Amino acid sequence: MSQRNDRVWVKNPLGIFTGTDADATGGLVIADGRIAEVVPGGGTPAGPVDEVIDASRHVVIPGLVNTHHHFYKTLTRAWRPVVSAELFPWLKGLYGVWAGLTPRDLELATTAALAELLLSGCTTAADHHYLFPGGLEDAIDVQVDVVRGLGMRATLTRGSMSLGEDDGGLPPQRTVQDADVILADSERLIGAYHERGEGAFVQIGLAPCSPFSVTTGVMRDTASLAESLDVRLHTHLAETLDEEDFCRETFGLRTVDYLESVGWLTDRTWLAHGIHFDDAEIARLGAAGTAVSHCATSNMRLASGIARALELEAAGAPVGLGVDGSASNDGSNMIQEVRQALYLQRLRYGAAAVTPERALGWATAGSARALGRSDIGVLAPGMQADLAMFTLDELRFSGSHDPVAALLLCGAERADRVMVGGRWRVLDGQIVGLDIPQLIAHHSEAARNLLSRTT
């Protein structure tokens, strides 16, 4: 599209998942950055169009929405000392490496993570950045620049760690910050970058890291600040049984009791992982409207467990998907994450209960709800024109029959076209304006240098 107000007909797709019950087999009309109309099978647009895109080779879906990531961890994929570790020893092994991050490292890591996401059909990503060692105080500012350069949407969360080893926490002291520094920077970032309303590209959330790395005072004060400035809250919770034990021993509370005690049990909050909840806790989360980001691949990689996604949804808790950091997933591929979630949840609930459409719903409308957005996640008139188009031309798809199901069951990896807000950001499988070989060279060099400095 040359102009966002051109009327473009994405015509007669091979398959389409809109996230609604509407017949859109005739395609979509896009104008002024939004979905202008859906076209039923055999129909034509209600008005004239400026451009027609033949989608007969493509499966069209809403742009995928990633609700939990740690962009900087793309620099520590498949690091041998922690390849077979579970969460707490995995973190202890990596904290010292991550403490050596520089602004240039973060810029490259963020670019690599977002580029991989974009190529996998992801149009909106949430990042949980909680590491601010000396020299990296402006980490979120660095990420904002990268997001804007790629033209994606992002919820960038100002994370924090304030409970170091000396005070009974997990992270080393050199990675924690004082409460007043955390809160002042949180307020600065919201004022500088947070966009409100439909079509926002950059939003800021507040995200103390976890019960084992942040004091209760920072948790409470962050909740108050988020309410006063009307932004969302994010943290890790109930990822492992070790975390459950930590909360019992440190606070005398289970994880959801702890969440409520610090003012976080609200519909402003979305939680990463949310695996180890009992029936009563699921009911409380649902009643509060607290969302959960299911991170299937990471949970399998670290042997953390399986989130109770269907029960959370039934209770009223929005469920979205997240790839988590690329040191516990070792990838940032969102369409693959949907496949993993489909299969992992089938292990818990059976095949009939978890359809490809349900898993895609978690990655689109469910994830949008988790981020507090009602303008993305489905392909319907008035929604933002965020979409991904996949071809089924590879050998892996040969012999497949249901195009939408084939995306997951046959293992799609890379989108052919991706649109964000009515603008093409991926064309013919390539990110517009980004030199991927050069990025790989610089990113790989930064990863080697990071390890050489800190190990």
Which tokens go with 38? 């859906």
- What's the CA gap between 74 and 81, in Å, rounded? 16
Residues 114, 69 contacting (CB under 8 angstroms): no
Which tokens go with 218? 């920072």
Same domain, 258 and 403: no
For residue 26, give its domain range: 8-61+379-431
CA distances from 340 to 67, 84, 354 (A): 15, 19, 12
CA distances from 179 to 12, 131, 435 (A): 55, 14, 40
Helix (H) or strand (E) holding 379: none
For residue 416, being part of any structural domain is answered with yes
Residue carrying the six token digits 């978690």: 362
CB atoms within 10 A of CB 352: 7
pTM of the model: 0.97
Same domain, 404 and 427: yes
Q: Which long-range contacts (CB under 8 A, 24 or more apart) does 145-148 make?
A: 145/107, 146/107, 146/110, 146/111, 146/114, 147/110, 147/114, 147/201, 147/202, 148/201, 148/202
Domain count, the chain: 2
Same domain, 148 and 51: no
Q: Which residues contact 341 (CB under 8 A, 6 or more apart)?
A: 294, 296, 309, 321, 359, 362, 363
For residue 439, being part of any structural domain is answered with no
| Residue 384 DSSP class | B
For residue 437, being part of any structural domain is answered with no
CATH number of the domain enclosing 400: 2.30.40.10
Same domain, 53 and 110: no
For residue 453, being part of any structural domain is answered with no
CB atoms within 10 A of CB 166: 9
Q: What is the pLDDT of residue 174?
A: 84
Residues 407, 391 contacting (CB under 8 angstroms): no
CATH number of the domain enclosing 312: 3.20.20.140
Residues 150, 160 contacting (CB under 8 angstroms): no
Instruction: Report the relative pairing of strands 34-39 and 27-31 from DSSP bridges.
Output: antiparallel
Which tokens go with 184? 């002042």
Q: Which residues contact 418 (CB under 8 A, 6 or more apart)?
A: 63, 118, 119, 121, 123, 387, 388, 389, 424, 425, 426
Q: Which of 327, 351, 370 is the C-terminal boundary of a domain? A: 370
Residue carrying the six token digits 């649902």: 286
Same domain, 236 and 207: yes
Same domain, 251 and 138: yes
Can you give the pLDDT of all 455 residues of the chain as single tens digits? 445 579 999 999 999 999 999 999 999 999 999 999 999 999 999 999 999 999 999 999 999 999 999 999 999 999 999 999 999 999 999 999 999 999 999 999 999 999 999 999 999 999 999 999 999 999 999 999 999 999 999 999 999 999 888 888 888 888 899 999 999 999 999 999 999 999 999 999 999 999 989 999 999 999 999 999 999 999 999 999 999 999 999 999 999 999 999 999 999 999 999 999 999 999 999 999 999 999 999 999 999 999 999 999 999 999 999 999 999 999 999 999 999 999 999 999 999 999 999 999 999 999 999 999 999 999 999 999 999 999 999 999 999 999 999 999 999 999 999 999 999 999 999 999 999 999 999 999 999 999 998 87
Which tokens go with 146? 């990268």
Same domain, 324 and 268: yes
Residue carrying the six token digits 């395609």: 27
Residues 191, 202 contacting (CB under 8 angstroms): no
Same domain, 318 and 423: no
